[in-house]
Amino acid sequence: MTLPPNVYDAEPIPEAARAEIERLLQTGDLFRYTAPEDAPVALLEREFADMLGSKYALAVSSCSAALFLSLLALDLKPGAKVMIPAFTFAAVPSSIVHANCVPVLCEVGDNYRIDMADFEAKLDSVEAVIISHMRGHTSDMDAIMALCTERGIPVIEDAAHSLGTTWHGRNIGTIGRIGCFSFQSYKLVNSGEGGILITDDAEVLARAVIMSGAYEHNWRKHKGPRGENTADLEQAFAKWQNRLPLYNLRLSNLAAAIIRPQLGEVPRRVRDGRSNHDYVAGLLESSPWIEVPAKLAPEDRAPDSLQFNLKGLDEAQTRAFAKAAEARGVKVQVFGLSTDNARAFWNWQFLGETPELPQTRAMLMKACDTRLPARLTRPELDLIAGALIGAAEDVMGETLAYGT
């Protein structure tokens, strides 16, 4: 009999990491700037930038650090407004507060994507936007880029959960001015903690590198494509040297040694994650109470979790559904119902007064989240789908039968 899988465990770190970790332990060479060149962190940056097709990468301590440095690298004035979707993780508005800017929350639709009418209505009041591809769902990047380019507003992509996703075949994270990724354990590539930003803009890269903690002339160890120093990069570093504060958000060589052998696993994880997701989503279609919103046409997703909306359930029935699913061995969180959920905007009390966003709130009250790691087997996926369909039936079966 198949048992409910543990969906929280990550995959083992590839065996290939061991020799390099052993070397680092033997030599104590853990700081990225000790070696004259080719430190594991520097090699990771080159490999990651090449993998996604961007000129530059900067590895840092988390995706939140990457978002914070991105805002500072754009040289926004204190108090500048930065738009984000109201459906995101609390670390995203936090990075804006940390950068002395002010978040402006934009409505999100039932399909977890940015509501373009609200986005456009609020765009003229902001100086930058962070597009959080929340849970790997891509908003309409064509419309977003057209509106922002027209106004000269820089776009930062929060691609923490979108490594491997493409839009018209182009890698997510390379569409805006800057793309930020996470290596926290619940993401596609896991080093416990870690993040990286990518950009084609030498000035942005130079500013972010210095503020990440490249003191004195350590910036010389940051190179452009093919490991070469480009003239615009040299100029940008020379311009900003000693003019920016150091926040010391660097990544250690140990984390880079854990990440690098996983980059080769990304295509498999993406393929398996997508096929798992689409398989379970297909099975859920048979339930009259469950709806998995469709992706947008230009998007190819890289999911490691599944989101779906409950249809026709009130709040008590929604709570009963989550309980019934858990009793059947599958944990579901309803974003707006679980206590203290960091993805429900009304819990971001550090912002002071949180705005009223009825559309996003209504979505969060019916949107369910369940993890679906790439390593799951078909019988495990069948069990998960069966538990979700069964839980809805447990709660709603009678209502339908008696027509109430």
Ligand X SMILES: *Cc1c(COP(=O)(O)O)cnc(C)c1O
Q: Output the smallest distance, CB 252 to ligand X, in A.
A: 15
Q: Output the smallest distance, CB 228 to ligand X, in A.
A: 29
* Nearest to ligand X of 161, 260 (CB atom): 161
Which one of 134, 290, 302, 392 is in contact with ligand X (CB under 6 A)? Answer: 134
Which one of 33, 40, 64, 290 is in contact with ligand X (CB under 6 A)? Answer: 64
Task: Tell me which residues in 159-188 interact with ligand X (CB under 6 A).
Answer: 160-161, 182, 184
Task: Tell me which residues in 254-273 interact with ligand X (CB under 6 A).
Answer: none
Dist CA 280 CA 323 (whole Å): 20
Q: Output the smallest distance, CB 188 to ligand X, in A.
A: 11
Q: Segment contacting ligand X (CB under 6 A): 16-24, 154-162, 228-236, 286-294?
A: 154-162
* Nearest to ligand X of 64, 287 (CB atom): 64
Which residues sit opposite 103 in a β-bridge?
82
CA dihedral sign of residues 73, 76, 77, 80: negative
Q: Does 301 bind ligand X (CB under 6 A)?
A: no
Q: Output the smallest distance, CB 85 to ligand X, in A.
A: 10
- Mapping DSSP onto H, E and C, the string for the chain reads CCCCCCCCCCCCCCCCHHHHHHHHHHHCCCCCCCCCCCCHHHHHHHHHHHHHCCCEEEEECCHHHHHHHHHHHCCCCCCCEEEEECCCCCHHHHHHHHCCCEEEEECECCCCCECHHHHHHHHCCCCEEEEECHHHCCCCHHHHHHHHHHHCCCEEEECCCCCCCEECCEECCCCCCEEEEECCCCCCCCCCCCEEEEECCHHHHHHHHHHHHCCCCHHHHCCCHHHCCCHHHHHHHHHHCCCCCCCCCECCHHHHHHHHHHHCCHHHHHHHHHHHHHHHHHHHCCCCCEECCCCCCCEECCCCEEEEEECCCCHHHHHHHHHHHHHCCCCCEECCCCCCCCCCHHHCHHHCCCCCCHHHHHHHCCEEEEECCCCCCHHHHHHHHHHHHHHHHHHHHHHHHHCC
Q: Output the smallest distance, CB 207 to ligand X, in A.
A: 20
* Nearest to ligand X of 161, 250 (CB atom): 161
Q: Does 91 bind ligand X (CB under 6 A)?
A: yes
Q: Segment contacting ligand X (CB under 6 A): 40-48, 51-59, 89-97, 241-249?
A: 89-97
Q: Does 89 bind ligand X (CB under 6 A)?
A: yes
Which one of 59, 63, 126, 292 is in contact with ligand X (CB under 6 A)? Answer: 63
Q: Output the smallest distance, CB 195 to ligand X, in A.
A: 5
Which one of 40, 195, 303, 373 is in contact with ligand X (CB under 6 A)? Answer: 195
C-alpha torsion 249→254→260→262, nearest 10:
-100
Q: Output the smallest distance, CB 60 to ligand X, in A.
A: 9
Q: Does 92 bind ligand X (CB under 6 A)?
A: yes
Q: Does 376 bind ligand X (CB under 6 A)?
A: no
Contacts with ligand X by CB under 6 A: the residue count is 15
Q: Which of 296, 368, 305, 294 is nearest to 338 (CA)?
A: 368
Q: Segment contacting ligand X (CB under 6 A): 5-13, 106-114, 156-164, 215-223?
A: 156-164
Q: Segment contacting ligand X (CB under 6 A): 87-95, 138-146, 149-157, 350-358?
A: 87-95
Q: Output the smallest distance, CB 31 to ligand X, in A.
A: 21
Q: Output the smallest distance, CB 364 to ligand X, in A.
A: 15
Which one of 54, 62, 171, 276 is in contact with ligand X (CB under 6 A)? Answer: 62
Q: Output the smallest distance, CB 194 to ligand X, in A.
A: 7
Q: Residues in the site for ligand X, rule: CB under 6 A? A: 62-64, 88-89, 91-92, 132, 134, 158, 160-161, 182, 184, 195
